[in-house]
Amino acid sequence: MLFAEGPGVTKIDGIYYMTTDDDAIILGPRVALHASTDLRSWRFIKFLFDDENNPTWPLSSSEFWGPSIHKIGNAYNIYSHIDNKDSRWAAIAVATGPTPIGTFFDIGYPLLSNDKNDITDPNVVIDGKLKILHS
């Protein structure tokens, strides 16, 4: 069993993929990816961002929260809340990749951002049109 903070779980082709944020039990840079076929036994796949594809626009003291993978057309997108520990700035970020395990590349700018830190975990709804909701 894996205990993780801010998980997002998506089923793709019979496999459950779970993304976890910075404070996951398996600590590491940015977003961790795990896989399961039964929702009980999880195996660590990899960290989705590293020096080669880490988003460059958030400040270095920013943290990723509540990431989740969604299939959009023929691509896979990760949506995540990002906030800065040193200010009240917050944003919704998106990175895209060809498979559920990446490699993911950030689109280069936030989808939403403000300096009130009131943008939190994004949720994606597809009902004929893509909608991104945040709480």
Look up the pTM and report it: 0.80
The CATH code of domain 8-134 reads 2.115.10.20
Per-residue pLDDT at 85 exceeds 80: no
Which phi and psi (to 5°) does residue 20 adopt?
-130, 155
pLDDT cut 90: percent of the chain above it: 23
In one letter, which amino acid is 135? S
Q: pLDDT tens, 1-32? A: 666 677 889 999 999 999 987 554 444 446 88
Per-residue pLDDT at 82 exceeds 50: yes
Q: pLDDT tens, 104-129? A: 998 888 877 777 766 667 777 777 77
* Long-range contact set of residues 40-45: C-beta below 8 Å, sequence gap at least 24: 40/1, 42/1, 42/2, 42/18, 45/17, 45/101
What are the extents of the domains in the chain? 8-134
